[in-house]
Chain A
């Protein structure tokens, strides 16, 4: 305790020395923390965006071509896939996109206007496969729950069709009957254009002709914590259960996350090397300042020796000085990078994604603290050894 008090007093007394030593270390740490923060935050953002658009990692997709709906009844198709995938603790979604006519003014038949809209007919749990934050209301009912239906829109869709509780008319094709559907939820899907999500089985229940004669759609499968291989295997098994030959199925990862992350890792490595060099320079700076100010300090140290300080104590005083400095600087650098993250990440996120901004990575704090501690310790070591060697007789011939 006395040592720390003494070291703090000493640092306060030599403000310039402390500030110089601290500054270069501060810059190095900021760069180090910055690299880690940017690395993890951007990675989080990339991953979040990919998971929103293409499915949580790992999700694989394949096209599902089953001659016609007649061949395998839809509910049987869904339950067969569900049985295969859920047995592996996974989730799946079947998606078919259709262009439909949508009217958001269902009341008055005469003034009613239709606009083109895109409906994603989904079975399974798309909200579990993709990251789709619910902004209002809820997600669609389960597949067994066909009545009374209901649709979910994305943020752009809310602008065009209205929010939860509003009713729109959906017309599958120009001459088909239009069916009213109530909006039950608003989600964020990362897509800029207006989207409607509707349960496939419910849509078929209301409008049997809503799906084409040739039922061609996309199957997405996500197995949490499994490898891409495992997911591909699960998809092949599910296809086989539906009577589709295994080797005709080619599941693939959607999107480009791997190469994005690869590039990011390269960049991070580059910045990491730069930060490492800066840290080294900062450490040499501490060392240099420590040794350069040694002459100035020699009188003081020899006086302390005369007044009863042991060599160990002098050594400790110098090391404690740089170590305290480095820890203090690390705390400041972490604070600054924390504020930068808090300020910046909300601005990096596409508003259409409505993703929660990633938090400050603890890793950055841990790395900064330990790097700084190390630099302070090593940078203070040589000056401390020199200081401990100061002879107490120096004072007598000053």
Chain B
């Protein structure tokens, strides 16, 4: 599996009129088993890039392909399906639904995209919760879980469908250093075990060090940095 972006550009309108180029010519490739970090200053466009790569948004120029098939010009419902099937997301602020239990939160991606038998779905949910060490807390609500635990639930959710790529936007941004390290370890190991590529978007050099490869986003362009 290869997720490839070439020459991505994204332009946002300014409130004052006029536009601002957040991305101008961003290119990268992520392959199975790789952990790639994208660093950059706040406001440099990291989240914007992640949204494009995650098929949440469409670029104004450039091309995104999965295994050499161009996907950024697909209609919305096809992109939704691709998200369900091939991509997993972990966001900075856990983004668990507060009214659902850990188990139901992990089950959410299975509610969309290709159908899965009930028993199979239940097993997949439990496996993933188990992988992040929370099998015992399956029925807890998010507010009953610590920040680190919530983020582990989010990781389980990202992996439940067996995605090809996990896209994580500041996955440890809201955690204290110790917890952040453990969660990051977990994210890297379960993603690798699940055979998914991992794209980490962060401004934290400590996070970037965990990656096989780190890129730096500056002035709308991705630059290579020295490997950690």
Contact = CB atoms under 8 A, between A and B. Distances in A.
Interface of A: 2, 6, 9, 13-14, 299-300, 303-313, 391-393, 395-398
A90 B77 CA distance: 69
B29 interface: no
A29 B137 CA distance: 43
Given A299-B95, A396-B169, A307 B83 contact: yes
Contacts of A307: 83-84, 89, 108-109, 112, 157
A118 to B, nearest CB: 74
Nearest to A311: B76
A124 B108 CA distance: 76
Contacts, number: 74
B54 A306 contact: yes
B60 to A, nearest CB: 14
A205 to B, nearest CB: 83
13 contacts: A304-B112, A305-B80, A306-B83, A308-B109, A309-B111, A310-B77, A312-B77, A393-B51, A393-B57, A395-B91, A395-B95, A396-B91, A397-B47
Contacts of B84: 307-309
B56 A304 contact: no
B162 to A, nearest CB: 13
Contacts of B108: 303-304, 307
B100 A9 contact: yes
Closest 9 CB pairs of A and B: A308-B84, A13-B99, A308-B112, A396-B47, A310-B80, A392-B56, A310-B77, A308-B113, A309-B112
Contacts of B70: none
Interface of B: 47-48, 50-51, 54, 56-57, 76-77, 80-81, 83-85, 89, 91, 93, 95, 97, 99-100, 104, 108-109, 111-113, 115, 157, 169
Contacts of A14: 99
Contacts of B112: 304, 307-310, 313
Contacts of A304: 108, 111-112
A308 B77 CA distance: 9
Given A9-B104, A393-B56, A303 B80 contact: no
Contacts of A310: 76-77, 80-81, 112
B77 A303 contact: no
B80 to A, nearest CB: 4
Given A299-B95, A300-B97, A303-B97, A308 B81 contact: yes
Nearest to A313: B112
Contacts of B97: 13, 300, 303
Contacts of B95: 299, 303, 395, 398
